[in-house]
């Protein structure tokens, strides 16, 4: 168990250290996320009345799109530099590599969220931090998203059509996360009673558990060579 954690920690650390040096992943995700918000601003006329209803939708679409960019890049780097093969040659459990990559991707999305939320709050003069529940939803949603996303991105980067394939593979299977996260976020933002939010939280937790377990079980089949 401790060997497993050490291997996983090493993968996470490798990704974070590389990112600290180059900053290419988070910076591109971040700029992209801000651009998406900007586009929504003009496409949806985000005035005060419209915003109340669509804020959570805009936020989640932003995270999902930026997340796709990050996932694709994160695994493409591994593939192109031959790191994936190197990692696989290392005498560690393959699933430790999966959890390491997934955790690093989760950190990237959370960092982007940590910057997007205050920026959005300032731009639209609201306080998204007023309800701590929102942060919980983001954590749960991002976990489910990266759990599946890391698995599918690992497959996508090994195909001929890798640049276009990831969203096509990923979006139809993360719809439950998106629906539940959007509804739960807007529930918290509108300060609805917990009873109305709980079904969505339950769904998010179920999704996280089911897909983390499933990805954990099948990951070794997508990296063998």
- Near another protein by CB under 8 A, which window of 67-75, 94-102, 135-143, 195-203? 195-203
Q: Which two tokens stand for residue 174?
A: 């993360």
CA gap 164, 153 in Å, rounded: 11
Task: Tell me if 99 contacts another protein by CB under 8 A.
Answer: no
SS3 164: helix
27 versus 206: smaller Cβ distance to another protein: 206
Q: According to CB under 8 A, which one of 46, 173, 192, 205 is a site residue for another protein? A: 173
Please check whether residue 170 is in contact with residue 149, taking contact to mean a CB–CB distance below 8 angstroms.
yes
CA gap 39, 222 in Å, rounded: 36
Task: Tell me if 198 contacts another protein by CB under 8 A.
Answer: no
Q: According to CB under 8 A, which one of 87, 96, 148, 197 is a site residue for another protein? A: 148
Task: Tell me if 145 contacts another protein by CB under 8 A.
Answer: no
CA gap 148, 170 in Å, rounded: 7
CA gap 13, 100 in Å, rounded: 8
Q: According to CB under 8 A, which one of 29, 34, 180, 189 is a site residue for another protein? A: 180
List Cα–Cα distances, 12 to 20, 54, 102, 197, 225, in angstroms.
Answer: 12, 34, 8, 33, 23
Task: Tell me if 210 contacts another protein by CB under 8 A.
Answer: yes
Tell me how many residues contact another protein (CB under 8 A): 35
Site for another protein in 5-44 (CB under 8 A): none
List Cα–Cα distances, 62 to 15, 36, 171, in angstroms.
Answer: 23, 6, 13
Smallest distance, Å, CB 114 to another protein? Answer: 26
Q: According to CB under 8 A, which one of 153, 200, 201, 212 is a site residue for another protein? A: 200
Smallest distance, Å, CB 122 to another protein? Answer: 32
**Helix, strand, coil share of the chain (percent; to 5):** 85, 0, 15
Task: Tell me if 172 contacts another protein by CB under 8 A.
Answer: yes
Smallest distance, Å, CB 150 to another protein? Answer: 12
120 versus 200: smaller Cβ distance to another protein: 200
In Å, how far from its chain's centre is CA 79?
Answer: 20
Smallest distance, Å, CB 155 to another protein? Answer: 5
List Cα–Cα distances, 222 to 41, 124, 128, 169, in angstroms.
Answer: 39, 43, 39, 14
- The site for another protein (CB under 8 A) is made up of 148, 151-152, 155-156, 158-162, 165, 168-169, 171-176, 179-180, 183, 199-200, 203, 206-207, 210-211, 214-215, 218, 221-222, 224
């Amino acid at each position: 168990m401790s060997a497993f954690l050490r291997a996983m920690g090493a993968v996470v650390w490798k990704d974070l250290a590389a990112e600290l040096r180059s900053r290419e992943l988070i910076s591109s995700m971040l700029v992209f996320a801000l651009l998406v918000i900007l586009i929504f601003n003009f496409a949806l006329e985000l005035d005060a009345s419209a915003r109340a209803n669509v804020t959570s939708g805009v936020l989640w679409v932003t995270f999902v799109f930026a997340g796709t960019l990050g996932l694709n890049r994160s695994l493409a780097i591994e593939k192109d530099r031959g790191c994936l093969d190197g990692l696989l040659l290392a005498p560690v459990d393959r699933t430790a590599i999966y959890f390491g990559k997934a955790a690093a991707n989760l950190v990237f999305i959370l960092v982007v969220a940590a910057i997007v939320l205050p920026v959005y709050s300032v731009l639209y003069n609201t306080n998204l931090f007023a309800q701590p529940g929102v942060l919980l939803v983001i954590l749960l949603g991002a976990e489910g998203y990266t759990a599946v996303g890391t698995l599918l991105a690992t497959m996508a980067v090994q195909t001929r059509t890798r640049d276009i394939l990831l969203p096509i593979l990923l979006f139809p299977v993360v719809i439950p996360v998106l629906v539940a996260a959007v509804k739960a976020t807007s529930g918290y933002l509108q300060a609805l009673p917990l009873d109305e939010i709980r079904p969505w939280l339950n769904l998010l937790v179920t999704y996280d558990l089911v897909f983390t377990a499933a990805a954990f079980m099948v990951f070794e089949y997508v990296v063998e060579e």
